[in-house]
Structure 1
């Protein structure tokens, strides 16, 4: 199995592995040779190349996924480029690998091609199956009123490079049932690179789409799409670049359903600002964030994946969502994550297990989902459950603050299989109706208090000597506080003070209202 694995990761990824025709694994010290336009044979890094700075939570998911294809900039030379001059309704080129038929430009051979000018038509790549084709956009404007503006029909791997200092525009009105349903559509692996700018608009369907792997390793890219902004069916990887995405569907999507090692989204670097009518990130299998800055505003889930979801680095902000983060296996192992949701903030549901009763996730039944927090900083502001698992919640490290629901039908913490805490710091402020605290068997001490306050209230936790252990400013009205950290010892007395009103509690002791170990749980999955 070929794998996409990091070698050295100042931004969680030094270079994406490469895959082309006839690829075989080689030692990590073997670098991919620069090639001219021809068939590609590129090195593949192995599982042993995983950098030790990536937490195991994400590294093991990366190792289990198939590799993706990437055309790096050192694989081709601009000196080999042949020019295609776009001129309104036609174009011209001296290259033997280019044909022009009216407003359709067809590239039939491997090579590097520089496109400049304006074309009211289509650019088609119909090269041999083993060909690597690089399109360098250098102040190019391509606008199609029928189908994709840039379409790859056949090739092994295709790269679109944005020339330094250039501004490029690709526009299409592709119909929903078109064979090539995106402004830029590739029936091959597709890589976007360079330091120039690209604006892509599709008023009928997707913005940039590949039926294979889609990789973004550079460029300032703005995509506005009627449906998905970026779609790589086998995988979608972002290593670098500045992306502004506006989608009528999902902003970033991978939806290969036939192979459990594909259908993943991996954010390893770059800056992403995504606005979506559906999900911000939607992966059929896994979502991994190991670096970069991601800002998401979504009307449905902020980040969704069917199997597993790991955040081990980077800066993630979900400023709007229905459910913030959702997957069957959620792993928070690093990075800085902020979630605002109108329902559950972080929801471990679905995945590979299903409830026997269907519908609402089986109510109180533990269906095997997992939410594991081992590092990083997580802040959740949820109108539904703050941290929710249809299975278990496990915390071994990290710093988590939950501003939970104000309504009684949800809780700041909600699990069907219990909450086990052995490390880290967790403060959960929410309503009392469905409030839950960690299990009594947890190795780390915890306390629970029925105390109330409103937005702006100061919550202070002190030990018996009056030493302040923690202090928080509430984001909304609350009726309960659950807190755990290494400073808490079961059986000891502590004071929870809200706006000067003090309440004494004993750590590890349940209080009225169902706030014992395991708590009330339940509610919407």
Structure 2
């Protein structure tokens, strides 16, 4: 199969995703301030290019899936004629063959030439074997066939150019193997439906495959599913194609003791893909739901995936120290990262929803994923150009080792350790809601690591969190928006609730936070709170309250004319509030108030329009020319130590000086680690 055109398209697609994230493998390992600034500038330029090409990117992702699948004319071969077909009728313990090209010996039928074979009847211990020339296309019509083999596969394609299996309209068919096979050699078959060559399944009938020994359906070449209702129950992997698994349409109901659907060829650059253009998938798997030895390409489809028993069955451990989520020392981080890398080499340790060993590109579809491990995972890049996602994860909601780009779609991460994580992240569109027990959106190390460059928790990596459009809502126990490198925000809206503990912050970055557009509202603990950098083109304010405010307390910013500039009602307790939008003006007088109610319309607690009544004035101040820091007494300087501008260029204070007391009460222990050590 020739896939050079597909490879070219996919390369363009993923290059666009990487450019939008403003990263490269070399940049990811760069810790210098100069490199961080350069990457921020590059990210802003790339974002404009990516936004302009968002529509074509969706088409490209869809085309890549269809092109990689390479559906051709004979894959759609369904029609057959009784006059020219050979019939195979199973009954009792024997079979009857009418026509040429096949013979029966007891309950075993062997097909030896190209042609159409219509199979019906039931056998309790028999087999259908295809052993034809290497260029022969064998059209196998299952017309109410129920084949059980007690000591081997029910259908064994030993050799053929391609086996095209049609599920005849209106029929129920089943294939079942035995718990143990008579053939125990290295080359022995491993599935109830097993083929050494290409296999295509089409038609509108039903097929139930039971893999008692190991796998359900396995092709040692390409496996394509065009249509039909297919139920697979397997003690190990349910659906396996070595070089390719491609699905055009149909309904797949899968229960697997191993992986639900997978490819295994990890040595050939143009093979090992999973390509899906449509269909309905109900997958329950002990290990990964859908796993590709190379890349996963999805154009459309409806997916319901439960892997590893779901998020409540997660075996992931995230050791923590003082300060709660995210407060691990370097030794603990190294232990966890090493352990994760080691266990992921063991197939049984991986229970992800979607997993691409290379890349994952999704143009559309509906996804409901409940995973013990990452819900969507790539060892390289992820590009999401559309679709609807409801995700619950025992680890990360969406994780890419290298780069992650989101330009469209509706994403709800309802439960996760870290919501969205990659070495670089670009968001140019879409609607994203994240709930995380640690960081909400995290630009950190690759390979599920969270450490900064060179093991220095405060060093800036070359990674970039680039927000140029879309909507992001974060509810986090750890950092809200977190980057071990830089943050660039030129558009869109970001709303952050949390954390509540002082060991983390609503905004956390090691490099710079350059904001030139968009709306940012972030409320959470004050102990390590940061605002955007003073180098930002758009104004911002950061308010530190004299005491912690209860969840649901409205915070209002009004101008000298009494107009409401911002009204935000955080869902968690908070001691700091950061706000930035184009509505802020230098030299203007503003008042910050708390309490009361707003008559405006709210989205996740952020109000538009309307007026506020019943609030209490906290402070009045004049907006400066950059970032304005405010407390109950008025304008102040950027917090030092754990607070404010502790990143490079962050706006004042130098990160890394332990405080003598914690904001809002409490005294830190003598061995308290300095700063957020995971980001």
Q: CA deviation at 1:241?
A: 1.5
Does structure 1 conserve the Cα–Cα contact (< 8 Å) formed by 2:75 and 2:200? no
**TM-score normalised to structure 1 length:** 0.75
> Which residue matches 2:503?
409
- 1:292 partnered with 2:421: no
How large is the RMSD of aligned CA atoms in angstroms?
Answer: 3.9
- 1:508 partnered with 2:627: yes
Aligned-partner SS, 1:474: coil
**TM-score normalised to structure 2 length:** 0.59
**In 2, Cα distance between equivalents of 1:336 and 1:503:** 37
**In 1, Cα distance between equivalents of 2:531 and 2:540:** 8
**In 2, Cα distance between equivalents of 1:441 and 1:377:** 24
Does structure 1 conserve the Cα–Cα contact (< 8 Å) formed by 2:540 and 2:584? yes
- 1:339 partnered with 2:413: yes
**In 1, Cα distance between equivalents of 2:410 and 2:241:** 30
Q: CA deviation at 1:208?
A: 1.4
Does structure 1 conserve the Cα–Cα contact (< 8 Å) formed by 2:393 and 2:417? no
Aligned-partner SS, 1:417: coil
For structure 1, which segment, 184-193 or 488-497, has the greater mean C-alpha deviation from structure 2 after superposition? Answer: 488-497
Aligned-partner SS, 2:460: coil
Aligned-partner SS, 1:420: strand
- 1:159 partnered with 2:200: yes
Q: How does 1:62-101 map to 2 (within 5 A)?
A: 68-71=68-71, 75-80=75-80, 94=98, 100-101=108-109
Q: How does 1:9-408 map to 2 (within 5 A)?
A: 54=54, 68-71=68-71, 75-80=75-80, 94=98, 100-101=108-109, 103-107=126-130, 108=132, 109-115=136-142, 116-121=144-149, 122-128=154-160, 130-131=161-162, 133-136=164-167, 138-146=171-179, 147-155=190-198, 158-161=199-202, 163-164=203-204, 166-175=205-214, 182-194=215-227, 196-203=228-235, 205-233=236-264, 234-255=272-293, 263-277=294-308, 278-327=351-400, 328-348=402-422, 349-351=444-446, 362-408=456-502
Structure 1 residue runs without a partner (length 5+) = 7-49, 176-181, 256-262
Q: CA deviation at 1:460?
A: 4.8
- Determine which structure has greater relative contact order: mean sequence separation of CA pairs < 8 Å that are 6+ residues apart, divided by chain length: 2
**In 2, Cα distance between equivalents of 1:395 and 1:86:** 67
Q: CA deviation at 1:67?
A: 6.0
Does structure 1 conserve the Cα–Cα contact (< 8 Å) formed by 2:452 and 2:459? no
Q: How many residues align?
A: 461
Aligned-partner SS, 2:473: strand
> Which residue matches 2:182?
none
Does structure 2 conserve the Cα–Cα contact (< 8 Å) formed by 1:57 and 1:310? no
**In 1, Cα distance between equivalents of 2:70 and 2:90:** 27
**In 2, Cα distance between equivalents of 1:65 and 1:238:** 6
**In 2, Cα distance between equivalents of 1:214 and 1:341:** 30
Q: How does 1:412-423 map to 2 (within 5 A)?
A: 412-423=506-517
**In 2, Cα distance between equivalents of 1:369 and 1:136:** 50
Aligned-partner SS, 1:2: helix
Structure 2 residue runs without a partner (length 5+) = 11-49, 110-124, 180-189, 265-271, 309-350, 423-443, 597-615, 630-637, 656-674
> Which residue matches 1:12?
none
**Alpha carbons of 1:93 and 1:524: their partners in 2 closer, same or farther (altered >3 Å)?**
farther
Superposed CA deviations along residues 444-499 of structure 1, whole A, max 9, x for unmatched, are 33333335544544455545544345555534333333333343446655555553
**In 2, Cα distance between equivalents of 1:379 and 1:145:** 51
- Which one has a larger percent helix, Structure 1 or Structure 2? 2
**In 2, Cα distance between equivalents of 1:229 and 1:450:** 50
**In 2, Cα distance between equivalents of 1:95 and 1:503:** 92
> Which residue matches 1:499?
595
**Alpha carbons of 1:84 and 1:503: their partners in 2 closer, same or farther (altered >3 Å)?**
farther
- Which one has a larger percent strand, Structure 1 or Structure 2? 1
Does structure 1 conserve the Cα–Cα contact (< 8 Å) formed by 2:391 and 2:414? yes
Q: CA deviation at 1:399?
A: 3.4
**Alpha carbons of 1:134 and 1:105: their partners in 2 closer, same or farther (altered >3 Å)?**
same
**In 1, Cα distance between equivalents of 2:520 and 2:361:** 23
**In 2, Cα distance between equivalents of 1:216 and 1:236:** 8
Superposed CA deviations along residues 248-287 of structure 1, whole A, max 9, x for unmatched, are 11222213xxxxxxx2222321111222222222222222
Aligned-partner SS, 2:5: coil
Aligned-partner SS, 2:79: helix
Does structure 2 conserve the Cα–Cα contact (< 8 Å) formed by 1:346 and 1:387? no
> Which residue matches 1:14?
none
Q: CA deviation at 1:87?
A: 5.9
**Alpha carbons of 1:447 and 1:123: their partners in 2 closer, same or farther (altered >3 Å)?**
farther
Superposed CA deviations along residues 306-326 of structure 1, whole A, max 9, x for unmatched, are 221222211122233422222
Aligned-partner SS, 1:479: strand
**Alpha carbons of 1:127 and 1:314: their partners in 2 closer, same or farther (altered >3 Å)?**
same
Q: CA deviation at 1:402?
A: 3.2
**Alpha carbons of 1:515 and 1:358: their partners in 2 closer, same or farther (altered >3 Å)?**
closer
Does structure 2 conserve the Cα–Cα contact (< 8 Å) formed by 1:458 and 1:471? yes
**In 2, Cα distance between equivalents of 1:213 and 1:392:** 38
Aligned-partner SS, 2:248: strand
